[in-house]
């Protein structure tokens, strides 16, 4: 027979952690270029979160805690994930397949450090301070990486005459 504390922990885990799973999957797919390994990455993240849930401080930021675990697991898995081909598009809901492909290619062309910061801040909605905690880097580093990532995307998309121009009505 299981102690009631286990059931309480499981219920609490499901209440706090599981609602974040779809966002973790989305982030992992974008981080890994949409490889099948992204699902393994999230599964390992949730497993590690479950195993260390007893250490989780209830009044802390669960999203940031989970993303920190995911980032650590991603770095731990190394080249295996990054070497797989891209499969999942990124883009606006009303964007064309070409626009999504161009956005994915531009995003994939960013260095990992810039791509991670951009995805966490812009797509996942974390503040620079939260991104700083998740990635364990100074907040100034987060802000400069975010600025460089945005500029690199602007330049890449404008150079290609693609998504940025289409989005602003500058292309026929």
- Whether residue 82 is predicted with pLDDT greater than 80 in this model: the reply is no
Cβ neighbors of 112 (< 8 A, separation 6 or more) are 82
The CATH number given to 89-172 is 1.10.10.10
The C-alpha atoms of residue 169 and residue 113 are separated, in whole angstroms, by 31
- Which pLDDT band holds residue 160 (cuts at 50, 70, 90)? low
- Whether residue 108 is predicted with pLDDT greater than 80 in this model: the reply is yes
Contact yes or no for 102/160 (Cβ under 8 A): yes
pLDDT tens figures, 6-16: 555 888 889 99
CATH architecture designation of domain 1-88: Orthogonal Bundle (1.10)
Question: Which of 37, 15, 24 lies closest to 123, judged by CA?
Answer: 24
Tokens of 162: 């693609």
Domain residues of the chain, as ranges?
Answer: 1-88, 89-172
The pTM (predicted TM-score) of the whole model is 0.58
Q: How far is CA 13 from the centre of its chain?
A: 21
Q: What is the pLDDT of residue 85?
A: 40
Q: What is the pLDDT of residue 49?
A: 93
Contact yes or no for 44/73 (Cβ under 8 A): yes
- Whether residue 146 is predicted with pLDDT greater than 70 in this model: the reply is yes
């Amino acid at each position: 027979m299981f102690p009631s504390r286990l059931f309480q922990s499981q219920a609490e885990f499901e209440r706090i952690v599981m609602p974040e799973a779809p966002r973790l999957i989305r982030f992992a797919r974008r981080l890994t270029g949409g490889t099948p390994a992204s699902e393994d990455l999230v599964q390992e993240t949730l497993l590690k979160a479950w195993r260390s849930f007893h250490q989780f401080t209830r009044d802390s930021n669960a999203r940031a805690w989970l993303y920190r675990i995911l980032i650590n697991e991603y770095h731990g898995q190394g080249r295996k994930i990054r070497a797989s081909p891209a499969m999942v598009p990124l883009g606006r809901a009303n964007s064309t397949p070409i626009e999504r492909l161009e956005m994915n290619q531009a995003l994939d062309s960013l260095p990992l450090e810039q791509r991670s910061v951009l995805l966490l801040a812009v797509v996942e909605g974390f503040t620079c301070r939260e991104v700083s905690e998740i990635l364990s880097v100074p907040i100034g580093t987060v802000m400069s990486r975010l600025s460089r990532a945005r500029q690199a995307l602007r330049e890449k998309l404008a150079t290609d005459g693609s998504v940025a121009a289409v989005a602003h009505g500058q292309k026929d």
